[in-house]
Structure 1
Amino acid sequence: MKENIVWHNTSVSHDDRVQLNGHRPALLWYTGLSGSGKSTIANAVDRKLFEKGCHTYLLDGDNVRHGLNKDLGFDDDSRVENIRRITEVAKLFTDAGLIVGTAFISPFIADREQAREIAGTHFVEVFVDTPLEVCEQRDPKGLYKKARAGDIPHFTGISSPYEAPENPEVHLKTDEMSVEEAADQVVSYLVQKGIIG
């Protein structure tokens, strides 16, 4: 089947889109435990970038599982496929010149490395580093309580491992900073790297 599939170039190039947008594309890959603050920080960054006139889109883990990935569970194989699909979608968005945020637990180093390989130079790993005990205290969805009771199998941090990033581009220690400070650190990184002005 693959031999019958050919990549088609578009009449509007990636460079054309970047020039029109006025900034370079990026894939901000927020990773961390459930309740670490990934979605909250990603939304705060998205708002700041939007207010600066940047073209952005945010792919949230729960939202994607309502549609594109609704057929996937939470076992290890499903988590791998979830991340692969999301990376492919994000790659299309960065090709369009957008700054894309993705808020997924993405617990395995190998999966994040695969995402980095697929996304290429646009990939920016943002480690939302929050201690497990803080995440459990927050527990906004009541998931840790259910996981501790054995009601949720394969729950990251409890019955399934989380492999922390070894060299993230941005490291946010959320027990030591506010959401605003964390968002500012991400935006500052984008300015330093010349992704935004």
Structure 2
Amino acid sequence: MATNITWHPSLSRHERNHLRGQRGFTIWLTGLSASGKSTVATALEQHLLHLGLSAYRLDGDNVRFGLNKDLGFSEKDRNENIRRIAEVAKLFADSATIVISSFISPYRADRQMARELHEQANTNSDDPIPFIEVFVDVPLAVAEQRDPKGLYKKARAGEIKDFTGITAPYEEPLDPQIRIRTHELSVEDCVAKITAWLYAQGLLSPTQKAI
């Protein structure tokens, strides 16, 4: 661990939220590959931007082209992948940005760690950073039938090791804040369900309407 470092205080989270006219928080989408996480996350980001809000999507594949390009898919590397993303999400949310994180994140312990990082950032703050877990709940058979990248086919053929749902576990959330089923709802309906929950919790203002 680094030593000889000092934390330098900045504007308070309350000041940033007030000046930017919105509250920062993290929406964490978890689910199997091909469950529809990225599709819903992209549509949700677009919808929030149309509301005049600052929102940014962190995608499981995209971050592996840069920030996490040194990580593989072993359990250890998956753990580190989620830890880094959780830290980045926390920083974005602290800046009064709405973060939409779209990762398989197969282990409950890793998702709990991400939640706790946000909770720890709330010490001595009047404006805590909410962490909203969204379970994109799709049966394995449906995800495997979709298989847009051909990954399930390769995993079944033994060409991909440690593939979630086939040769590596996926631990479903026990008590997610939101559950969406993309095989039963349209993308628009999934976005509407998430947005309605955010309004109900007071995380979005009724005055924020699409432009």
TM-score (norm 1): 0.97
Q: Is the 8 A contact 1:58 1:102 kept in 2?
A: yes
Structure 2, unmatched stretches of 5+, are: 120-128, 206-211
> Which residue identity lines up with residue 192 of structure 1 in the other structure?
A
Question: How much does 1:21 deviate?
Answer: 2.3
Structure-1 residue corresponding to 2:13? 14
CA distance in 1, matches of 2:130, 2:47: 19
CA distance in 2, matches of 1:194, 1:24: 10
How many residues matched? 196
Q: Is the 8 A contact 1:39 1:60 kept in 2?
A: yes
Q: Is the 8 A contact 1:17 1:96 kept in 2?
A: yes
Q: CA RMSD in A?
A: 1.0
Deviations 1:29-87 (A, max 9, x none): 00000000000001111111000011111100111000000000000000000000000
| 1:154 aligned onto 2:162 | yes
CA distance in 2, matches of 1:2, 1:66: 26
Question: How much does 1:3 deviate?
Answer: 4.3
CA distance in 1, matches of 2:191, 2:170: 23
Question: How much does 1:2 deviate?
Answer: 4.2
CA distance in 1, matches of 2:60, 2:181: 21
| 1:140 aligned onto 2:140 | no
Structure-1 residue corresponding to 2:209? none
Q: Is the 8 A contact 2:24 2:96 kept in 1?
A: yes
Structure-1 residue corresponding to 2:67? 68
The alignment-based identity, stated in percent, is 55
Deviations 1:124-163 (A, max 9, x none): 0000001111111111111000000000000000000000
Q: Is the 8 A contact 2:32 2:140 kept in 1?
A: yes
CA distance in 2, matches of 1:3, 1:100: 30
Structure 1, unmatched stretches of 5+, are: none
